[in-house]
């Protein structure tokens, strides 16, 4: 790099790019923040902050040092197409954590209080009280116990839900009945009146929310998918709703986004849909997290959220 300024190339939502550029000008004048496709002098680009990355870009930026996802996940990137050896980092920042804690509270309470049914009854002007078990008798199973999963669990524990959690490798977290591995999953499913997916999408977790899994839940369980659309076999959910094995679902992510017009999830009386807004990277907090990581990188320190490419998250 010599005496030249290192550049960050941003690829993503234009409004966020402009907001971040403004903050970077005052907070990090030594770093030149560029917004794709205006890449400028390509040899100066040291960092990518991106949601997706156009194929062919890597051949043009020979001095790239690290790749940062602007979101909590990296599954939107084709990991095999990224230059090997460069750190790949997912976004960890407080606004995402806060959003997740709020979303799971909203979704779990909606399911426990039978809100999808009230929405339907309300549309026909029907005043009818439905019996709802108390939160203390509504155990929630959480798939995924990373930083977001732990924030979700804390939020639900505060509301009084008994919490069970499942992760790939064993964990011990106060207040959560933790399970791991295939046997642990069965134990969690058998007790979860509400199941929440917050897993990263990997080869191992794709399609995990399927008929065989639903069959292990208590009859009439509720489902929340806040992971990725690829976790859910959509036809299996429709069948489980039809049979009553699943009573209702709150879904924020879908195999195809935006959810296509005419998709059977639209207008389904037992499905509540939000358009992938469960957790959105904050403007100030997101750029602060990115900058803090770049500074760590410059000092040769460990990056927060560095992805293990073999593991996929
Ligand atoms: C949202 O889904 C994200 O990955 O930040």
What is the domain-level CATH number for residue 144?
A: 3.40.50.720
Regarding whether 75 and 204 lie in a shared domain, the answer is no
Check if 231 is active-site: no
* Per-residue pLDDT at 209 exceeds 70: yes
Nearest atom in ligand 1 to the alpha carbon of residue 253 is 2
Residue 308 lies in a domain: no
Q: Which of the listed residues 96, 146, 200, 274 should we mutate to test ligand 1's pocket, taking the one with most ligand atoms within 8 A of CB?
A: 96
Please indicate, yes or no, whether residues 89 and 109 belong to a single structural domain of this protein. Answer: no
Distance CA 160, CA 249 (A): 21
Q: Is there an atom of ligand 1 within 6 Å of 139 CB? A: no
- Asked if residue 14 belongs to a domain, the reply is yes
248 and 111 in a single domain? The answer is yes
CA angle in degrees (0–180, nearest 5) for 247-249-251: 175
179 has catalytic annotation: no
Which of the four pLDDT bands, split at 50, 70 and 90, describes residue 243? very high
Cβ of 72 below 6 Å from ligand 1: yes
Q: For 3-28, how does the pLDDT look when each residue is reduced to its tens digit (9 = 90+)?
A: 568 999 999 999 999 999 999 999 99
Do 188 and 287 belong to one domain? no
Three-state SS for 97?
A: helix
In this structure, are 15 and 116 located in the same domain? Answer: no
Q: How far is ligand 1, taken at its centre, from the CA of residue 134, in Å?
A: 31
Q: Are residues 41 and 79 in the same domain?
A: yes
**Ligand 1 atom closest to Cα of residue 281:** 5
Per the CB < 8 A criterion, the answer to whether 47 and 87 are in contact is no
Same domain? For 204 and 140 the reply is: yes
Rounded to an integer, the average pLDDT of 193-206 is: 97
Share of the chain above pLDDT 90, in %: 97
pLDDT > 70: percent of the chain: 99
Would you say the CB of residue 222 lies under 6 angstroms from ligand 1? no
Q: Is 281 in the pocket of ligand 1 (CB under 6 A)?
A: yes
Is residue 306 one of the residues assigned to a domain? no
Shared domain for 107 and 46, answered yes or no, is no
Q: Is the domain of 134 the same as that of 77?
A: no
Residues 261 and 289 in one domain: no
CA 304 to ligand 1 centroid distance, Å: 16
For residue 183, being part of any structural domain is answered with: yes
* Average pLDDT score over residue span 139-164: 97
**Is pLDDT at 1 greater than 60 in this prediction?**
no
Please tell me the predicted confidence (pLDDT) of residue 55. 86
Mean pLDDT of 60-79: 96
Looking at residue 2, what is its pLDDT? 46
Query: Quick check: is 256 in a domain?
Result: yes
In a domain, 304, yes or no: no
| Residue 303: pLDDT over 70 | yes
Quick check: 227 pLDDT over 80? yes
**Domain span holding position 25:** 6-93+281-298
Instruction: Report CA(73)–ligand 1 centroid distance (Å).
Output: 5
105/227 same-domain check: yes
Rounded to 5°, the CA angle 299-302-308 comes to 140
Catalytic residue, chosen from 16, 193, 228, 231, is: 228
Ligand 1 atom closest to Cα of residue 228: 2
The number of domains in the chain is 2
229: in domain: yes
Q: Quick check: CB of 279 below 6 Å from ligand 1?
A: yes
Which residue, by CA, sits nearest to atom 5 of ligand 1? Answer: 71
Ligand 1 pocket check for 73: Cβ under 6 Å: yes
Residue that has been written with the tokens 């890449």 in this structure: 39
What is the per-residue pLDDT for 5?
Answer: 82
Is residue 307 in some structural domain? no
- Torsion angle of C-alpha atoms 168, 107, 70, 59, degrees rounded to 10: 60
Of the pLDDT bands very low, low, confident and very high (cuts 50, 70, 90), residue 83 is very high
> Which CB contacts under 8 angstroms, 24+ apart, belong to 271-278?
271/116, 271/241, 272/107, 272/110, 272/115, 272/116, 272/119, 272/248, 274/250, 276/252, 277/252, 278/99, 278/100, 278/103, 278/226, 278/252, 278/253
Do 80 and 111 have their domain in common? no
**Mean pLDDT for the chain overall:** 96
């Amino acid at each position: 790099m010599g005496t030249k300024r290192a550049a960050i190339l941003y690829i993503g939502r234009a409004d966020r790019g402009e907001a971040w550029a403004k903050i970077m000008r005052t907070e990090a004048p030594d770093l030149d923040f560029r917004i794709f496709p205006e890449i400028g002098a390509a040899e100066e680009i040291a960092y990518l902050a991106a949601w997706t990355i156009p194929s062919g870009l890597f051949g043009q930026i020979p001095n790239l040092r690290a790749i940062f996802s602007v979101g909590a996940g990296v599954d939107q990137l084709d990991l095999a197409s990224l230059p090997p050896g460069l750190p790949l980092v997912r976004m960890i920042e407080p606004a995402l954590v806060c959003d997740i804690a709020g979303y799971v509270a909203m979704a779990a309470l909606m399911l426990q209080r039978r809100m999808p049914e009230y929405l339907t009854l309300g549309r026909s002007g029907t005043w009818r009280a439905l019996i709802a078990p108390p939160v203390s008798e509504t155990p929630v199973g959480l798939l995924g116990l990373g930083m977001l999963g732990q924030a979700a669990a804390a939020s639900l524990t505060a509301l009084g839900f008994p919490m069970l959690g499942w992760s790939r490798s064993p964990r011990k977290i106060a207040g959560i009945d933790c399970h791991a591995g295939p046997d642990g999953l069965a134990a969690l499913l058998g007790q979860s009146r509400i199941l929440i997916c917050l897993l990263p999408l990997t080869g191992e977790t794709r399609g995990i929310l399927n008929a065989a899994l639903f069959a292990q839940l208590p009859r009439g369980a509720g489902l929340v998918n806040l992971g990725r659309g690829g976790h859910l076999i959509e036809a299996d959910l429709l069948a489980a709703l039809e049979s009553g094995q699943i009573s209702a679902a709150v879904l924020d992510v879908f195999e195809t986004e935006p959810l296509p017009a005419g998709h059977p999830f639209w207008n389904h009386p037992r499905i509540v849909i939000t358009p992938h807004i469960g957790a959105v990277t904050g403007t100030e907090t997101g750029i602060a997290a990115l900058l803090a990581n770049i500074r760590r990188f410059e000092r040769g320190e460990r990056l927060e959220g560095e992805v293990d490419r073999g593991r996929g998250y």
